[in-house]
Amino acid sequence: MRKQFFALLVIIIPFFCNSQNVNYVHKVIDTLTSPSFYGRGYVNKGDSLAANYIAQQISQTGARSFNNNFFQSYSFGINTYPGEMYLATDKVELIPGKDYIISSSSPGAKGSYKALWLNGSTFLTQTEIQKFEKKNLSNTVLIIDTSFKDMENNKLYTAKAIIHATTHNLAWDVSEGTKTNSFLYFDVSREKIPEACKKVKLDVESIYKTDYQTQNVVAYIPGKLYPDSFFVFVAHYDHLGQMGRETYFPGAHDNASGTAMLLDLAQYYSKPENASDYSIAFIFFSGEEAGLLGSKYYSEHPLFPLKNIKFLLNLDMESTGSEGIKVVNGSVLKDEFNTLVTLNEKEKLLKTVRPRGEAANSDHYWFYKKGVKSFYIYTLGNEWKEYHTPTDVSKGLPMTKYDELFKLVTGFIGQLSRK
Ligand SMILES: [Zn+2]
């Protein structure tokens, strides 16, 4: 018995040490993407539920808060779809998130409307344009084919709704939702709209929340030697939320993966053997999908001086990696980028570490604009293609190079600490 027990330990211990964090990370991603968080958006306070969970997780690491709790509250205006989301062409009901997405600036509507097709051959003559300009479109849904070119015509936007028949992959976006338009707009898979479609039935419920209360979650682990100087990890924990009562966007890759990595990093740095000479801050932003709003607010209301940040790493979409990583600002901050590349080669971690110029595509942006040295790292690889779809789920999320990325990131901070 005893002998067997020891033999088992030899096998299990190294395995456990390597995979313990990945198990934790999967657990966090499972939780954040579950239906009870409503896609971490603005319906049923999904983002606040996620914030509470994150605060509870980070408090368990022993990390501290700057104020009397981990939250930094702020607000913005946002359009939401908490209820009905029904779209049918000639009585064929389409599936939200799969067959179509709604532009988040769309108001609600209910009724049956006449369909009018516009394609590449519409508006060929001056007479046809004049005829179109005179129409009353308030009870018409325009179906616009990809071949239609005259999108500048303002008359289009007097219609009840516009259906854009597209052959592209559908990806929802909520950044348009900070304002609302007078017309509804849908992207619909071309194959789902019958050519002869005469009627469009709509039932869409929208609520514009003028002063939606949300929060960033902020924690830190004090440095041993230089507590006033910080390395900062950031990740957005919000996602797109609900598109109607039935459809939510789990956002596993975007960005439960980066959120989980931040919590894992907090666990790592809170262990005495990994304690850093510099303070390490962890900022979980909300409002990213609404237009980088949480990071903008934080950069304008920092909880410690921005000039005390030695370096900031933004982790957003980290579950692939078979093709390496991309580093936004890598071609601008050449010294730090070389440190990263050299470390990667020495430790044989990722296939490639590719640089990119500055980009306003995630939360590092406002910090970078204010002179804070920062990288935004995201993983590359075709093993996960779900992006802004209801199928960006936890199940099957590859996490291909999670361990390697974790080692690279912590090694990089270690090297910068010694400079
Ligand atoms: Zn996103």
Q: Is the pLDDT of residue 227 over 80?
A: yes
pTM for the model: 0.93
Query: What per-residue confidence (pLDDT) applies to 194?
Result: 87
Residue 342 Cα to ligand 1 middle (Å) = 30
Query: What per-residue confidence (pLDDT) applies to 12?
Result: 44
Residue 5 pLDDT class (50, 70, 90 cuts):
very low
Residue 107 Cα to ligand 1 middle (Å) = 22
Residue 150 pLDDT class (50, 70, 90 cuts):
confident
Residue 158 Cα to ligand 1 middle (Å) = 30
Q: Give the Cα separation of 150 and 268 in Å (integer).
A: 56
Residue 405 Cα to ligand 1 middle (Å) = 20
Handedness of CA 24, 30, 31, 32 (dihedral sign): positive
Residue 370 Cα to ligand 1 middle (Å) = 23
Residue 411 Cα to ligand 1 middle (Å) = 27
Look at the chain and count its residues.
Answer: 419
Amino acid 388 reads H
Q: Give the Cα separation of 70 and 55 in Å (integer).
A: 6
20-34 pLDDT, tens digit per residue, is 689 999 999 999 999
Q: How does the average pLDDT of the chain come out, rounded?
A: 94
What are the tokens at 407?
Answer: 């080692």
382-394 pLDDT, tens digit per residue, is 999 999 999 999 9
In sequence order, the 6+-apart residues with CB closer than 8 A to the CB of 251 are: 32, 33, 39, 40, 239, 240, 392
Q: Map residue 297 onto helix, strand or coil.
A: helix
Q: Is the pLDDT of residue 40 over 80?
A: yes
Residue 309 Cα to ligand 1 middle (Å) = 25
Residue 2 pLDDT class (50, 70, 90 cuts):
very low
Residue recorded with tokens 């980009």: 359
Residue 376 Cα to ligand 1 middle (Å) = 14
Residue 177 Cα to ligand 1 middle (Å) = 14
327-346 pLDDT, tens digit per residue, is 999 999 999 999 999 999 99
Q: Give the Cα separation of 312 and 330 in Å (integer).
A: 13
Residue 389 Cα to ligand 1 middle (Å) = 10
92-110 pLDDT, tens digit per residue, is 999 999 999 999 999 999 9
Residue 275 Cα to ligand 1 middle (Å) = 32
Residue 329 Cα to ligand 1 middle (Å) = 19
Sheet of 71-80, strands arranged across = 71-80, 207-221, 278-285, 226-236, 309-315, 374-379, 325-328, 353-356
Residue 234 Cα to ligand 1 middle (Å) = 15
Residue 166 Cα to ligand 1 middle (Å) = 21
CB crowding 106-123: b at 16 or more within 10 Å, else e = bebbeeebebbbbeeebb
Residue 81 Cα to ligand 1 middle (Å) = 18
Query: What per-residue confidence (pLDDT) applies to 275?
Result: 96
Secondary structure (H, E, C), 148-208 = CCCCCCHHHHHCCEEEEEECCCCCCCCHHHHCCCCCEEEEEEHHHCCCCCCEEEEEECCEE
